[in-house]
Amino acid sequence: MDFNELLDFEKINVKDLPGINEKWIQEYIANKPGVLGLGELELKAKEKIQPNAGRLDLLLEDTDDNRRYEVELQLGKTDESHIIRTIEYWDIERRRYPQFDHCAVIIAENITTRFLNVIQLFNGHIPLIAIQMNVFRVNEKIAINFTKILDEVKKGLDVDEIPPEETDRNYWEIKGAKETVALADDILKIIRKIEQSFDINYNKHYIGLKKNNVSFNFVVMYAKKSFLRIEFKMDKNEEIEAFVNENGLDVLGYNSRNNRYQIRLTKTEIIEKEDIIKQLLEKSYKYFS
């Protein structure tokens, strides 16, 4: 590649840009929540009035995961009031709307080492994400980049360790949707082509499996509003990753805590890629066995 083809860019501060201020950045995120890199989010509110507190900059929601993000934006450096305000708004929202999971999000142009250390003290007790906003001038145009520099600490047990608090199909049809719970039935049909003795096992935390009436969770499932998340138990390796990527499966990530690949499936994908899914199920079954 010719070095002359590389673009020159200059990091700049928002305050040095005429016509762009905190309100403008807020509007930009509100119109394109995906730029934060937190998933497919929807805007629920801007400048939301908080009782006896102030206004929350942005309230974003992941409707599939029943999760809300309380977002506070600050140009320049983070400061004490920014952190306190963010946590205060998060606490108000989670108390008012306990039916959702909630996560506090701090966005600033400069999250200093000192305040990053302070934020980390809260993390683990308060779900908190810190995002640094960088603004660049590239060929006389402006580019904005959001980089997650502190992720929330997710606590929890491996599904294999969670005491199975049994529920029923209706519980998951309310939590997710009838259509997505039906996708778990489709997965079970594929599993029974590998081993006939499996059945669905509905638990509060996940949709699991039982073999001859004994829990056997080589795969667990989560019925969301518009898709089924399925998690395959197996070691992380390049062969598996190449396989899923080449076959166009939507991989949400790998949970190294419990060795599970997380894949998002729809009805169409289950029908069109049944053989691919079956191969993954077989690999996971052998791994778990």
Q: What is the pLDDT of residues 132-161, one digit of tens each?
A: 888 887 777 778 888 888 876 555 445 555
The average pLDDT across 74-80 equals 80
Distance from C-alpha of 63 to C-alpha of 59, rounded to nearest angstrom: 12
pLDDT at 247 over 60: yes
Q: What is the pLDDT of residues 224-239, one digit of tens each?
A: 989 999 999 888 888 8
| Start-end of H helices in 103-175 | 113-122, 169-175
Count of positions (residues) in the chain: 289
Q: What proportion of the chain, given as a percentage, has pLDDT over 90? A: 37
pLDDT of residue 157: 46
Domains of the chain (ranges, CATH numbers)? 3-150 (3.40.1350.10), 169-288 (3.90.1150)
> 3-state DSSP call for residue 110?
strand
pLDDT of residue 204: 85
> 3-state DSSP call for residue 13?
coil
pLDDT of residue 46: 92
Q: Please name every residue paired with 207 in a beta bridge, in sequence order, or none if there are none.
A: 202, 221
pLDDT of residue 235: 87
Tell me, what amino acid is at 273?
K
**Position 26 confidence tier, pLDDT thresholds 50, 70, 90:** very high
pLDDT at 59 over 90: yes
pLDDT at 203 over 70: yes
**Position 257 confidence tier, pLDDT thresholds 50, 70, 90:** low
Q: CB–CB of 91/83 below 8 Å? A: no
The average pLDDT across 30-53 equals 87
Q: CB–CB of 135/12 below 8 Å? A: yes
pLDDT at 162 over 70: no
Long-range contacts of 63-67 (CB under 8 A, 24+ apart): 63/225, 63/226, 64/40, 64/224, 64/225, 64/226, 64/227, 65/39, 65/101, 65/224, 66/99, 66/100, 66/101, 66/175, 67/100, 67/101, 67/102, 67/103
pLDDT of residue 6: 62
